A and B are shown apart, each in its own frame.
Chain A
Amino acid sequence: MKPFTFTLRQEPPQRVDLSALTPDRLAGKSVAQIEEIELGVTRISTKVGDLFKVSEGDLKTVRFEGGSSRFDLLGAKLLPGFAIHVEGDVGAQCGRLAKGGRITVAGNAGPHAASGNLGAEMEIKGDVGDFLAGPLAGELAGMAGGRVIVRGRAGERVGDRLRRGIILIEGDAGEDLGARVIAGTILVLGQAKGRVGYLNKRGSIVLARGGCFGSTYVDCGAHDLTFARFFARSLRDHSAPAADLLSRKLRRYGGDTAVYGKGEILTAD
């Protein structure tokens, strides 16, 4: 059966909140009812019908034909077993607090993508903004599960306060990668700019091309790690270069000893 499809008619005139357009929240609604859902975030009304042509289909997969950098909160609180695909860009907080399921974005994503993700599998084919998988202001922890794969570049502070889960950046990453990480795993296949792993507690940061981490990371030698080989196998279907990186001997830097110090930065050297 074909997926439930929203075809973009025009660029939204304002930022829109798409959190209402997840499969569980669309279930049981007619097309007419769905077209009446208010998406605007200002006093000017923007309804689903104004932006999209809605064609009914299997709600297991919701498909957006056309995207926009004004599409905020797409796939927020998505539940396990459902999927959302966007043939274009998305705005801020894509996949925010998603419990599970799968989100794929063919274009770029804005800031705070995968923020507070609890178990969703996300793939962004383009670039992402700052604070990938990070918490919003005032929250104590960022992403707590799931897997996020970015094929392009990522902005600053990737994985801020990451608690659990896997983040893979195939391109370059901005400054302060893995800052304040609690636990979890971050892999960067491109170049990580600036400081890496600042105040990392128990997380693993894997860098293909090295990076700048200060004297609070301590060299623990190069090792063949069974866990890395296991990780490589589980990532092989999603990213062959990442699997290749993890299959190599990795140099382990323990830290950040400025804090708890049970984390690590692994580099291929």
Chain B
Amino acid sequence: MPDIIRNGVTIDDNFAEAFPMSGTGILITAPNAKWARQAALTMTGFATSVIGCGCEAGIDREVPPEETPDGRPGVRALLFAMSSKDAEKQLVNRLGQCVLTCPGSAVYSTVAGEFEFKVGDAVRQFGDKWQMSKVVDDRRYWRVPVMDGEFFCEGKVGLTKKSVGGGNLLIMGADWDKTMRATEAAVSAIDGVADAIAPFPGGIVRSGSKVGSKYKGMSASTNDAYCPTLRGVTKSELDADIGCVLEIVIDGLTDNAVREAMRAGLHAIIEMGSEQGAKRVGAGNYGGKLGPFHYHLKELLP
């Protein structure tokens, strides 16, 4: 297939294949940005992949005090799962263990979805009958007394089944440092896109997987075609100039959010160029038969 080259970076004529997911999220506020961020970081910890974590979650953006319902600094955290039931279970658990426990926090709905589920209406019982309900503009909120004052939490949050999970970019470079530099630039560009998150550590995954394994009962195993140390001994996708591959996985509340996030990441990599950063960008798919959403890299080019 003909390669496309932009600023020295080879763009594979390939596409990312993504799947429908249930997406939800919360806006967490706190007396200062540090503790709003801490609550969101804790809540979105151990949420890299639905395979082992039950959900994928990350921070969408920091919200300035002028835009939050209580005028305090906030952070918007998004959470995605394979079913709305899983999303609800994960969010309620994480809210109860990670946000309710975090000093100063308050929680508001931030996703305008087709569905709603109980959040404050679930954790309110922590208040042991001292909790108080307030209805403002037809929305219910709970005040739960806690040791640093009150935990304030909206009763229900929105959920959408129109979310998309699995948008991705495979960033390939000569060595670890250059590949990481390009990938970090892509992640920070993706951070600027609303309604999309990159759930892996720092937005980056180095252990991309293929479907299946030589071991029984393992559904996924290392993507040997992209492992540089196996270049000679396996059916490799890598040429001699590639010494490191990193992947960014993207989940978004909408099809368009994932597309825009991939576009932003790709543009950042191309802008950096092959001298400083990556030599080649690809995308992962399963032949196009499994996921209904396809993002062709050539359509995202500048």
Contacts and interface: CB of A to CB of B under 8 A. Distances in A.
Contacts, number: 51
B80 interface: no
A226 to B, nearest CB: 4
B13 interface: no
Given A226-B152, A227-B143, A230-B106, 18 more contacts: A164-B135, A165-B135, A183-B133, A204-B134, A223-B149, A223-B150, A224-B149, A226-B29, A227-B134, A227-B152, A229-B70, A229-B71, A233-B70, A234-B69, A234-B136, A262-B129, A262-B130, A262-B132
Interface of B: 29, 69-72, 106, 129-130, 132-138, 141, 143, 149-150, 152
B134 A231 contact: yes
A202 B149 contact: no
Contacts of B152: 226-227, 230
A165 B134 CA distance: 8
A108 interface: no
If over half of A's interface residues share one DSSP class (helix, strand or loop), that class is named, otherwise mixed; here it is mixed
Contact of B136 (A226, A229, A231): A231
Contacts of A262: 129-130, 132
A106 interface: no
A227 B141 contact: yes
Interface centre among A224, A225, A226, A232 (most CB of B within 10 A): A226
A237 to B, nearest CB: 11
A226 B134 contact: no
Nearest to B135: A164
A85 B62 CA distance: 42
A77 B192 CA distance: 48
A8 to B, nearest CB: 34
Interface of A: 119, 145, 164-166, 183, 185, 202, 204, 223-227, 229-234, 262, 264
A225 B150 contact: yes
28 contacts: A164-B135, A183-B133, A185-B134, A202-B132, A223-B149, A223-B150, A224-B149, A225-B143, A225-B149, A225-B150, A226-B29, A226-B106, A226-B149, A226-B150, A226-B152, A227-B134, A227-B143, A227-B152, A229-B71, A230-B136, A230-B141, A230-B152, A231-B134, A233-B70, A233-B71, A234-B69, A234-B136, A264-B132
Nearest to A166: B136
Nearest to A231: B136
Nearest to A121: B137
A236 to B, nearest CB: 10
Contact of A145 (B69, B135, B143): B135
B143 to A, nearest CB: 5
Nearest to A145: B135
A226 B135 CA distance: 15
Contacts of B138: 119
B150 A233 contact: no
Nearest to B29: A226
Nearest to B31: A224
A183 B152 CA distance: 17
Report, nearest first, the 4 A-B pairs whose CB atoms are least far apart: A226-B152, A230-B70, A229-B70, A226-B106
